[in-house]
Structure 1
Amino acid sequence: MSSVDEQIAQSRAKKKRVIVTGVITSVFACLLIGVVVTLLAYFPVSGGDTPVAEEKGESQASLANHAVDRKALQTALNETNQRVSELVSSPYLSKWKPVKVAGFQADIDQAFNDYGASNYSQAQTTIEQLNTDITNYQSAFEEAYKQAYENAAQAFAADDINEAAQLNAQALKVKGDSSDALALQKRIDTYHEVADLYEQARVGGVEGNIEKQRAAYQQIIELDPQQQDAKAALAKVEQQIKQQRFARALATAVNAIDRKDFDRAQEALAKASAIDNNRPELAILQAQIDAELKSQGMESLEKRVQVFAGADEWQTVLILAEKGMADYPDSQVVQQAKQSAGEILAASSALDVYIDRPDRLADNNIRQNAVNAVSRYSGLTQLSAKLGEKISQVEQLIEQENQPIDVTVRSDNRTYIKVLGVGVVGEVREKTIQLKPGKYQFEGSREGYRSTIVDVVVEKSGTPIVINVQCNERV
């Protein structure tokens, strides 16, 4: 027996009790119909064409039923019944609008009843409509929680935490097992704690307490792994800590050499190597330790300073120079090395601001500051090739942000247009020109009309720049 026949058999079994209890009523109904037929035989009713119409209607219904592919209908019944069963068994889909779900169950039952009564055409119509309704219901359900989640995510990104919490609660009310909404809820729950930790990290930066910064960023990432800013900041802090440890070990080695304590110098150099054994300073300093065994005093210090300066390691030069100034204040080599190291390191830090945040160069003032910085520090490239590389990198970033931008000029084809200090547009109805980011003035003139000036700020944005320049006011 097919699954459709089983469904029909079950449906008939349910109805059997109803049929038995209605037998008596049916008998009385049959007697009543007999009386009515007898009366109609003696008293014919006008409109004799009605039976013909009924027969025609029955014939059309019969034809419609014969036109239905029963095998295809059985398959459709089974597949639709499966869809209804899956929907009913889904905890969130079924509880979203339970009245509609109950209606779907009633519709599939009715479709099986119609099939069992050989009303195939009606069963097919019911199945088609039911499938459409289920699809629409599922789509509406998806939209209900997805839209609420997306709005919640936008509110969270805008730091509107209360709105985000309310919207995400709506999404979870509709679909409580949504992985996206559940993940966002964890972020919402830890939002204020994360904010407090960011403040701790900021205070640690002000205090110069890098360990405090690291601990705060580590806790932030543990609470909210999606905090990309904290990850980037932690990576930078870890690198700074590594550099500090390396610098301390290196300074210890340098101090030990100055004290003629070469065993201590070798020990400190080994610690520095364990931190980062690829740094060129190690080999250079080891060579200097060997050299210090043979030479003493200011000459040795000046040589070390020159070696590190030649290796473009100005942080080490500064350490050596600051220490050397205490012992050899009259050394012009050490004095000059300290000054050059300070200028180069300051220039490098200033350029890092633009390299780390190239998006800020879209601002005209900041971009001009970067141009000024490049000009100011270019003279130091003779001493530091690394600084020269940074200057080249900043110049490339400036050039990227200084690319010409399309500007569409619209007019009445009678106004003569110029870009003051740049060039002529002419009389146009519409023309696209290219201008570098900055502030410009468009002048429109026309004989017999008052000239007009249009101020325009050209900058990168997702919106096309369109200006209208027309002389409309007669003189």
Structure 2
Amino acid sequence: MTDPQNTQENTATDPNNKWDDSEFHPGHQSNWFQQHKLEMGLFAGLLVVLLAVVFWLPKTVHPPAPDQDTFTQANSDASETENSQGAAPVKSQTGPLESPWQDAQIAKARREAQEILAKLLDKQTTLDKMQVDLWAAESFKTASDNAANGDELYRAREFGPALESYQTALQQFEALIEQAEQEFQQAMSDGAQAIIEQQAQDAVDAYTLATAIRPNNEEAKAGLARAQIQDQVIEQLEAAENQVLQSQYQQAKVHIEKALELDSESQLAAAKLKDINQAITEDNFASAMGQGYSYLQQKQYSKAAAEFRKALKIKPGNATAQDAITQASNQLTQNSIQRNLSQAEQYEREEQWQQALASYQAAQQLDSSVVATKIGVLRTRARADLDKKLQNLIDQPLRLADPAVYRSAQQLLADAASVKPRGPRIEQQQQQLQQALNKALDPVAVLLRSDNETNVTLYKVGKLGNFKEHTLELKPGRYTLVGSRNGYRDVREEFTLQPGTNRKTIVIQCDEKIAMGG
């Protein structure tokens, strides 16, 4: 807008000015307006247009909002403007002049918007990698719409509201990233539960979502791998269940083990394997117990006890098995006692007293409280001892030559005569011993022959001297003759006289000379 005072001053001082001072004299003023009326009207119209362009047009015309690249460039230009150390504003080629304050505010708004946009893009990239559309599509769209609304406000140069929209979108993106952790954990939990519930496809879906949120998570990848084989695992589990219904536990175990080969982490398969093993244990236990009772009924007590011990090994500490073992052992003991008693009685009837004593002693070792065994041991021990002594004297009648043994035999014979009940064996032994006693007193004729040069001595009798022949009578027994002669080696002869022998001839003489000198 032009100042009239300045115009007058310029006119007065400018020698090239076309205007003449005379035109402004009072006498000529009206003539001048009349002459320049048209120019003044045009000048006023141009002045109105100029004012409109300067003050009204910038408020009604909005510059187009820049895209991401142009926004970055604008921010850079603003920074350059801010760093120009207070240089005077430059007139835009297409717009009006901007004040430094407005430039600074615009630069600040652009810088803050750019910072938030950078964070928004980073969060958006993170959510895209997490495939947010699979688990929070609507929330993500809402946040994206808020970011787009910020763009609209920014284009309208409403920087405060624009920043608020950007900040809201950023907060929503950050909330979605936090939600991603919850979604991941939920997907992992859902996948694990689906496997437990044998919902193979649900497990695949859940773990697929988990791997979408965290593509590099090893646990999620392992879960997806498990989920993808669950159809095969379920097939084996169902086959095992069918076998269990038919009590075919070993076949069921084979299917369960195949299921665990496919999925070693299957809790359901592990639980079923435990149940099947328990069923097998119960089945084997029942079988062993049943076989044991069957042997009991057949009085095969050793076999019964063996089966009951097998059952106890299957189920250690089982009271039923322990009671059955005790029952079988008791019956086995009673059976053994009865068997030994029966054998002992049979041996007694046969007067085999040593064998009878051994059988009673065997029964007594099994149960010392049985009275029959105690009495049997006492009775058979006495008879066995008498039988042994009688038989020894009968088998060794020469012992009767000893007076002490002879007297003992007489007492033994008297004891045998008082034994009751009596059997043929003791009768025979009594007779044989009596005969041995009788013969033990009958002398035996002995003829000794020598060379009349040998000096003969008979131990237990005395010296017999030198003779050609010598006759004497001796009691049955063992004797020793010794012959000696000067210059000859001594000789020794031992002989036995059995009871009932009629006559015995013995030669005793020294025949071997002893070499003299060298």
Normalising by structure 1, we get a TM-score of: 0.35
The structure whose Rg is larger is 2
